Structure 1
Amino acid sequence: MYCDVQNETRHKLLIEVGKLPHGSTLFVLKNQNHLGRIVVALGTHRQEVFEMTPQEREGYFADVAAAAKACMELFHPDKINYGIFGDGVPHVHMHIVPKYKDGLQWGHFFWDKGLEEVTLSDEEYAKMVAQYKEKLGI
């Protein structure tokens, strides 16, 4: 899904923000049940973290750290949760999920199954994308 820019599921679930300094791609999730939620996808196709070269790993996690810092500065969550799954989408990507005290799933792992989807207006998505682009200089 992340390798194929024409992938229908990708366009249904994600909005591409842009390329990060080390080649990863930043996406905003359309389901914003955790406000500010994003995904950082590795720029080259790898299914597993151990398949990455040391340079890819270092660059990827630098991109993840920069994106997470931007999320923290833009949305001020109390904590950020990180998730790498991949059995449904076999491409290294990390979910960056801002969590808020007294908010959805505080004190528990994040999981979308069975939850109502929270969608924003086109203007709100555009604003979020612009905020991430400005904060990250992309």
Structure 2
Amino acid sequence: MKTSSSECLYCQNNDTLHSLMIKICDLEVSQLFLFKEQSYLGRCNVVHKDHGVDFHELSNAQRDAFMRDVANVAKAITSAFNPTKINYGAYGDTLSHLHFHVVPKYKDGYGFGGVFEMNPQKTTFSDTEYSEVIEKIKAAL
């Protein structure tokens, strides 16, 4: 099911987006967001800059650039927080905007060994703490 850009929280840069995520920076072909829900310390979303593009529709060069962005984010999160493993999720049932969830998992941490929960609503930070996480990620990019 394709959604229009007028219905897309990423394209609209709306209150729903800001209630869920904080923009960290622009990447080569994507934008990087930090989830406000931080049960998985450092969890981010890599969002393609173009609306309505599905992964299989990208040219080889576009796909390579997008996956480079995803890999660079995973490296930065690994450098900043030393997770046991990075999980990836690419969903789009109700939102036609290509994005990859980059989810660090920690042995003995929340949800380790299982599929990550989209929004467990367990851990949120102060503005200062979000800024510290963002700065660690940016420094490692």
Q: Do both proteins adopt the same fold according to a TM-score greater than 0.5, normalized to the shorter chain? A: yes
1:3 maps to what in 2?
11
> 2:113, 2:25 → 1: CA distance?
31
Matched residue type, 1:125: Y
4+ residue segments displaced more than 6 Å: none
- Find 1:105's aligned residue among 87, 111, 134: 111
> 1:94, 1:106 → 2: CA distance?
19
> 1:79, 1:70 → 2: CA distance?
13
Flag structure 1 segments of 5+ consecutive residues without an equivalent: none
> 1:8, 1:28 → 2: CA distance?
15
Contact 2:77 2:140 in 1 (8 A): no
Query: Matched residues, percent identical?
Result: 41
Secondary structure at the counterpart of residue 33 of structure 2:
strand
| Mapped pair 1:125 → 2:110 | no
Q: What are the superposed Cα offsets for residues 13-40 of structure 1, whole Å, 9 maximum, x if unpaired?
A: 00000111x2210000000010110000
Is the deviation greater in 41-50 or in 95-104?
41-50
Q: What are the superposed Cα offsets for residues 32-67 of structure 1, whole Å, 9 maximum, x if unpaired?
A: 010110000011123411121221111000000000
Q: What are the superposed Cα offsets for residues 53-104 of structure 1, whole Å, 9 maximum, x if unpaired?
A: 2211110000000000000110111000000011132210000000011111
RMSD: 1.3
> 2:71, 2:49 → 1: CA distance?
15
Flag structure 2 segments of 5+ consecutive residues without an equivalent: 1-8
| TM-score for the superposition, normalised by structure 2 | 0.88
- Aligned pair count reads 133
2:25 maps to what in 1?
18
